[in-house]
C-alpha cells in the first residue's frame, strides 16, 4: 500500500494490471495442458476407434462412457438403430480402452415397428454367459393380430429359453455378437411358429449387470496384448 500511495493514479492502475497479468501467467503454467485421447473399442469390436476426448489427466477418463451406433463400427446401415454403450476401464499412452456395458434401440425405430403390429410381447431376462458374465436382456416379439394371453405367455417362455440357452453356450463376447446379429430373434421367431406366427423379434436393450472393475479389466487387456505380442514373436521366428 505504501508503494501504491506514492504512485499517481495512472501508475497505480498499470501496476495492478501488471500484478494480475503475472498471476494469470503463473496460473496457466501450473495448469496442465489437455491432451487428446482415442477411445478404443474392446476386442470383440476389433479395437476400433470410437471417438476422441480431451483430458488433462488420464485418470479422469476412467469411468467415462461413450455411445456409438453399430453402423459406425461395422458400416452396415441396417444397424444404425442399435446404440452401443462403452465404458473406459484403462488408459495406456494416448489410448483409452473401453468395455461393452450394454445397448439400446432408438426410440424412432421402436415406434416404427410398434405402429405396424397389433400385439407386442415383452421380456426381461437376467442370464449368465458361459464365462460367468451376468447380463440383462430385453427382447420383444411382434404379431400382426391380437393374440390370447396364454399365447403371449407361451411366446415369452420361448424367448426366455432361447436367451438363456444362447447365453450359457457362449462366452460374453460371443453372446453379444450373436445378440446384436439377431440370433435370439431368429431362434424365437422359428420356435414360436407352433404357438402363433410372430412377424418380428427384436432385442431392444441389454445391460451388463456387473460393470467391469478397472483393475480387473486392466489385467484382461494386458493379457490380450501379451498374447498378441507372443503371436507376433512366433510369426517372426517362423519367418526367420
Domain-terminating residue out of 105, 129, 145: 105
Is there a domain that residue 97 lies in?
Answer: yes
122 & 201 share domain? yes
CB neighbour list of residue 56: distance below 8 Å, 6 or more residues apart:
31, 32, 33, 34, 35
**pLDDT for the residue 47:** 95
Is there a domain that residue 224 lies in?
Answer: no
pTM, 2 dp: 0.75
83 & 60 share domain? yes
**pLDDT for the residue 103:** 98
Residues of the chain with pLDDT under 70: 1-19, 21-32, 211-240
Is there a domain that residue 162 lies in?
Answer: yes
154 & 204 share domain? yes
Closest CA to 179 of 232, 240, 214, 127: 127
Is there a domain that residue 220 lies in?
Answer: no
H helices present in the chain, as ranges: 2-6, 9-30, 70-74, 107-115, 149-168, 172-180, 183-191, 214-239
133 & 179 share domain? yes
146 & 136 share domain? yes
Grid cell locating 34: 489437455
99 & 160 share domain? no
**pLDDT for the residue 234:** 45
**pLDDT for the residue 39:** 97
4 & 64 share domain? no
Structural domain that includes position 137? 106-210
Closest CA to 193 of 236, 134, 151: 151
Is there a domain that residue 74 lies in?
Answer: yes
Instruction: From residue 18, give the alpha-carbon distance in Å to each of 12, 14, 24, 26, 198.
Output: 10, 6, 10, 12, 77
72 & 48 share domain? yes
115 & 197 share domain? yes
127 & 149 share domain? yes
Is there a domain that residue 240 lies in?
Answer: no
98 & 122 share domain? no
Is there a domain that residue 94 lies in?
Answer: yes
Task: Provide the domain count of the chain.
Answer: 3
206 & 113 share domain? yes
Amino acid at each position: 500500500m505504501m508503494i501504491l500511495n506514492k504512485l499517481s493514479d495512472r501508475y497505480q492502475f498499470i501496476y495492478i494490471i501488471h500484478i494480475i497479468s503475472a498471476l494469470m501467467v503463473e496460473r496457466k503454467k501450473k495448469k496442465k495442458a489437455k491432451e487428446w485421447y482415442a477411445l478404443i473399442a474392446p476386442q470383440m469390436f476389433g479395437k476400433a476407434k470410437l471417438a476422441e476426448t480431451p483430458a488433462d489427466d488420464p485418470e479422469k477418463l476412467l469411468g467415462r462412457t461413450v455411445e456409438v451406433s453399430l453402423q459406425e463400427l461395422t458400416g452396415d446401415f441396417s444397424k444404425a438403430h442399435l446404440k452401443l454403450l462403452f465404458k473406459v476401464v484403462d488408459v495406456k499412452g494416448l489410448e483409452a480402452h473401453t468395455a461393452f456395458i450394454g445397448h439400446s434401440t432408438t426410440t424412432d425405430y421402436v415406434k416404427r415397428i410398434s405402429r405396424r403390429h397389433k400385439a407386442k410381447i415383452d421380456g426381461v431376462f437376467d442370464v449368465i454367459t458361459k464365462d460367468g458374465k451376468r447380463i440383462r436382456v430385453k427382447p420383444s416379439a411382434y404379431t400382426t393380430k391380437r393374440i390370447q394371453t396364454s399365447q403371449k405367455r407361451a411366446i415369452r417362455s420361448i424367448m426366455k429359453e432361447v436367451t438363456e440357452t444362447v447365453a450359457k453356450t457362449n462366452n460374453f463376447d460371443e453372446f453379444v455378437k450373436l445378440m446384436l446379429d439377431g440370433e435370439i430373434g431368429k431362434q424365437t421367431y422359428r420356435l414360436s411358429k407352433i404357438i402363433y406366427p410372430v412377424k418380428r423379434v427384436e432385442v431392444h436393450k441389454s445391460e451388463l449387470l456387473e460393470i467391469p472393475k478397472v483393475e480387473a479389466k486392466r489385467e484382461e487387456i494386458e493379457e490380450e496384448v501379451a498374447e498378441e505380442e507372443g503371436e507376433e514373436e512366433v510369426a517372426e521366428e517362423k519367418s526367420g
